[in-house]
Amino acid sequence: MARLRNIKNSNEILSNSKNFINDFENYKGKWNKEVFHNTNPIHIEIGSGKGKFICELALQNPNINFIAIDRAESILVKLSKKVDLEKLENIRIILLDASKLSTIFKKNEIEKIYLNFSDPWPKKRHSKRRLTHINHLNIYNEITSKNSLVEFKTDNINLFLFTLETLEENNFAIISKTFDLENDDKLNKQNIKTEYEKKFMEKGFKINKVVFYINKKEKNNEI
Ligand SMILES: C[S@@+](CC[C@H](N)C(=O)[O-])C[C@H]1O[C@@H](n2cnc3c(N)ncnc32)[C@H](O)[C@@H]1O
């Protein structure tokens, strides 16, 4: 397939892995029935990287179906090997750009979204590429059910402030937020550290986190 061309080895490894879904276009509205063969809720992580976070989460929550999404093939090979090694039955992996999510998931199909240490795209002219830009939030809105949550963590204060501003301007309801996750008793309680999180914490960075409803507040009808 076009999306796997030029990287023969990655192509082979991923094709041979049962957790990697190459024909994801076929499952819009059918992920539970045809991929997971159960009715458990589906949670996705966008930009999973090497996958430490989603693997630990999946291990702790065997009754949730997880889908790890990243647009970098070589990283997904590492994640796929980890899922195999740990024999995690409740994770599937997709090579996809976040902007395409509504082509593969139907409204109400996803119950929760995790965004961890998304690329900050610091230049203003690249702001639309940020995974918390309103264009992306609108896409997440198209695939999620009512009361679905997004959990977003970043070391990057500018990306965090941009995100909070976007949420406020567009009327998304924030449940909780912190500028210092490690010292926030409530939000840090069951925190699973990602690869980037560990790296940035070792360098002394504070971690920011916000949890919000992805369905917008209606006027006079707050969630
Ligand atoms: C900085 S890394 C963070 C990886 C991991 N979440 C962590 O915290 O260790 C960002 C990841 O997001 C992926 N990514 C960036 N933009 C993306 C997009 N538009 N769609 C899907 N994945 C994306 C990158 O390929 C990369 O693996």
Alpha carbon distance 26, 35 (integer Å)? 10
Average pLDDT over residues 122-150: 97
Which residue's alpha carbon is at the smallest distance from atom 23 of ligand 1?
47
Q: Would you please indicate which residues are annotated as catalytic (active-site) residues?
A: 119
Q: In 3D, which of 64, 119, 115, 73 has the Cα closest to residue 96?
A: 73
Whole-prediction pTM: 0.94
Q: Looking at this protein, which amino acid is placed at residue 142? A: E
Give the chain's mean pLDDT: 93
pLDDT tens, residue by residue, 163-193: 999 999 999 999 999 999 999 999 999 999 9
List, in order of start, the domains of the chain with CATH numbers: 2-213 (3.40.50.150)
Q: Which atom of ligand 1 is nearest to the CA of 196?
A: 9
35 band by pLDDT with thresholds 50, 70 and 90: very high
Evaluate: CB of 200 within 6 angstroms of ligand 1.
no
3-class secondary structure, 66: strand
pLDDT the model gives residue 12? 84
Please report the pLDDT score of residue 10 as a whole number: 85
Query: What is the side-by-side strand order in the sheet with 42-46?
Result: 91-95, 65-70, 42-46, 110-116, 144-154, 208-213, 174-178
What is the structure's pLDDT at 5? 42
Residues 217, 173 contacting (CB under 8 angstroms): yes
Instruction: Tell me the C-alpha to C-alpha distance, in Å, between residue 100 and each of 28, 34, 46, 166.
Output: 12, 20, 11, 21
| Per-residue model confidence (pLDDT) at position 218 | 62
What pLDDT, on a 0 to 100 scale, did the predictor assign at position 219? Answer: 53
